[in-house]
Amino acid sequence: MSRPPPPLPREARLVILTGAGISAESGVRTFRDGDGLWERHRLEDVATPEAFRRDPDLVHRFYNERRRGLATVEPNAAHRALVQLEAAWPGEFLLVTQNVDDLHDRAGSRQLLHMHGELLKGRCLGCRTVVDWPGDMDCDSRCPVCATGAMRPHIVWFHELPLGLDPIYEALERCDLFVAIGTSGHVHPAAGFVEAVGPRCRTLELNLEPSRVASAFQEARSGRATELVPALVAELLG
């Protein structure tokens, strides 16, 4: 059996990446599990710029349904444990999420980047301003800032560039611990973050089952996020 890694110094820099698996136990559907969103919808129909040009009503309906769904879910023990870690950790901390739900925000995470956008925001197709958008959106929705531009969901679709990549890669280059939680490793660039860390960085995957890129991590733990994440946080805060 391999020896456990040495404890991290308290000034260690942490980058945590989360995916749909961390919100699954809150009742938010994942993408690629048995009853996942991409089993019920073709992503080419609802999650690409071409889909939005072809059938904006369908795309709006898809995101309206998901936006409404947020009202029925709550952050879980894994979201809350990451807030506890951020609050107590003396070193640098960055939470990068691929999730477009607001569960990390509602739990209280602050050093947080939504690299795939946010369901509760909209973006003007005219002036490009991003605004809070808690309700339904449709083809008649207009930008509250310029008053004329049509709106789209503030979601990064396939073939579009994720948000915040510069600060994310800077943090990855200098981090001492990289943890990926509840992500299947199917979607780049997030799936490649584990390869972008420096040579001395410890890497750890927490997932229900090994992800597609599990072998790139030094350590992988299998189980539910609501159990594994609080246990890891307790371990790190020692």
Per the listing, tokens 């990289």 go with: 178
Q: Which of 12, 14, 28, 31 binds ligand OAD (CB under 6 A)?
A: 31
Q: For residue 79, indicate whether it is catalytic.
A: no
User: Is there binding between residue 36 and ligand OAD (CB under 6 A)?
Assistant: yes
Which range binds ligand OAD by CB under 6 A, 6-14, 24-32, 134-142, 169-177? 24-32
Residues 6+ apart with CB under 8 A from 104: 18, 75, 79, 82, 95, 97, 112
Closest distance to ligand OAD from the beta carbon of 32 (Å): 4
In the complex with ligand OAD, which residue's Cβ is closer, 176 or 230? 230
Taking residues 4 to 23 in sequence order and writing x for each that binds ligand OAD by CB under 6 A, - otherwise, the string is ---------------xxx--
Amino acid at 120: L
**What's the token pair of residue 1?**
């059996």
Q: What are the angstrom distances between the C-alpha of 214 and each of 23, 131, 181, 205?
A: 20, 37, 11, 7
Q: What are the angstrom distances between the C-alpha of 194 and each of 90, 173, 203?
A: 23, 10, 7
- Distance, in Å, from the CA atom of 197 to the CA atom of 40, rounded to the nearest integer, reads 35
Give the residue among 152, 28, 12 at the shortest CA–CA distance from 97: 28
In the complex with ligand OAD, which residue's Cβ is closer, 106 or 221? 221
Binding-site size for ligand OAD (CB under 6 A) equals 25
**What's the token pair of residue 116?**
């795939």
Q: Is 53 helix (H, G, I), strand (E, B) or coil?
A: helix
In the complex with ligand OAD, which residue's Cβ is closer, 176 or 205? 205
Closest distance to ligand OAD from the beta carbon of 70 (Å): 15
Closest distance to ligand OAD from the beta carbon of 142 (Å): 25
> Which residue's CB comes closest to ligand OAD?
21
Taking residues 162 to 201 in sequence order and writing x for each that binds ligand OAD by CB under 6 A, - otherwise, the string is --------------------xxx-xx--------------
